[in-house]
Amino acid sequence: MRDKNLASALIFNYEHFENILIIILIFVNNFLKFTKSSNYFTLITEAFKESNATITVYIKNSPKCLLNLSDFKYLLEPEVCQNHKRELLALLIITSYAGHDNLRAAHRQAISQAKLSALGLQRVFLLAAIPPQEHFIAQSQLINEQQRFGDLLQGNFLEAYRNLSYKHVMGLQWSSSTHCKKAKFIIKIDDDIIYDVFQIKRYLESLEVSKAGIAKSANFLAGYVLKNKAVIRNQANKWYVSPEEYSKNQYPDYLSGWLYITNSRTAQRLVYYSYETPIFWIDDLWLTGIVRHQIGINLTMLNSWFSANSQFLECCVRDLKQHFLECEYYVGPNGGNSKLLVEFLHNVEKCYYDECSKRSKEQNLTQTCVTSYQRRLPEHGKAVVNPLKLKR
């Protein structure tokens, strides 16, 4: 009888163990499916409270994949964050084409890495691999540029307009990972854009005072907000999007890629969910619109900072030189003049040290600058230029 009871107990324990083993195997299998489908191998999970909701942020452990590129690697990688010993206020990630060495030179001439460092900032240029048809720059030149300045981050996917989404994610992924954890904020900029880095620094410092904890928020995206934009269905248009690419007739609100500001935790969320979202070739719209909308990140409007008119920024330089007048705008296009950023930054620096006067209504740029006035930033596929004769 005793042996019979022992045998029954062993059978029960074996069946119980078998059930536990099956549960473990199912869990492991589901976990592997998750990591395989998302191309994301999570090492660290940080849960924190944000607006009474718990948000989990996943941090990628290595750059061996980028979206659907399983063989991704960096061809060039900077060490600006490792070399900066103190905590950074912000990292500037500047989207640049490999052949735009003249624009990168203008950025460096406008403000050096050493001067940025003194402001608590650092700068990195985002590049991709040189395409075969490019004959004006070679990889050896980029290697020399990296040896001189050490500020290039280059991925091994090809430079192409429809690859900008890869470049955009690469920049956010690198700057929000362990490569640059010292940076509180991330400022994404296009290489042909003028920007007042001193005003941006002031804004971020005041933001930290007025909104304590904003640097660690998982819900911060600020820039020029584009609202209620219709999808372009005209096949002759550069921005044509087929129903197969995007089925809805209106885009979610998104930020202009000219310049926007975020932080590491928000960038981590965007990167993580970009792996779960079909890739769309209009990069700023995809990341700050489609991906952002899916996860409920809010947009902070800084539209008053932006001018679509490079001539207004030229007039700002004139007025700074002659009358020490503040510029009404902090961001705008260079109008094809790579040296405009140099002149602009060298002159707006005066205002950072309180050497400028505020403009009166009569001194408004629309009243004092003779130009073709563009009312707002151009939309994807729509030019909005109204020629006006303005008095001096």
**pLDDT per residue as tens digits for the range 336-354:** 999 999 999 999 999 998 8
**pLDDT per residue as tens digits for the range 149-177:** 999 999 999 999 999 999 999 999 999 98
pLDDT band of residue 230 (cuts 50, 70, 90) is: very high
Residue 132 lies in a domain: yes
Beta-carbon contacts of 24 under 8 Å, excluding residues fewer than 6 positions away, are none
What pLDDT is attached to residue 381?
52
Q: What is the average per-residue pLDDT within 206-226?
A: 95
Residue 354 lies in a domain: yes
Residue 108 lies in a domain: yes
Q: Which domain holds residue 331?
A: 308-363
Residue after which a domain boundary falls, among 285, 304, 323:
304
Residue 18 burial (CB < 10 Å; 0-12/13-18/19+)? exposed
Residue 6 lies in a domain: no
Which amino acid does the sequence have at 51? S
Tokens 């990168």 sit on residue: 104
- How many domains does the structure of the chain reveal? 2
Residues 287 and 328 in one domain: no
Residues 326 and 241 in one domain: no
Mean residue pLDDT of the chain comes to 83
Q: Is 191's pLDDT higher than 80?
A: yes
Residues 140 and 275 in one domain: yes
**pLDDT per residue as tens digits for the range 40-55:** 222 222 332 333 333 4
Residues 283 and 319 in one domain: no
Residues 210 and 104 in one domain: yes
Q: Is 103's pLDDT higher than 80?
A: yes
Q: Which helix (H) or strand (E) holds 11?
A: helix 2-38
Are the C-beta atoms of residues 72 and 63 closer than 8 Å to each other?
yes
Residues 292 and 332 in one domain: no
Q: Is 97's pLDDT higher than 50?
A: yes
Residue 123 lies in a domain: yes
**pLDDT per residue as tens digits for the range 195-211:** 999 999 999 999 999 99
Residue after which a domain boundary falls, among 266, 283, 304:
304
Residues 216 and 255 in one domain: yes
What pLDDT is attached to residue 179?
74
Q: Is 373's pLDDT higher than 70?
A: no
* Alpha carbon distances (Å) from 341 to 194, 348, 365: 5, 10, 18
Residues 166 and 85 in one domain: yes
Residue 267 lies in a domain: yes
Residues 321 and 237 in one domain: no
Nearest to 340 by CA among 302, 314, 374: 314
Residues 135 and 277 in one domain: yes
**pLDDT per residue as tens digits for the range 250-277:** 999 999 999 999 999 999 999 999 999 9
CATH of the domain at 201: 3.90.550
Residues 316 and 337 in one domain: yes
* This prediction's pTM: 0.80
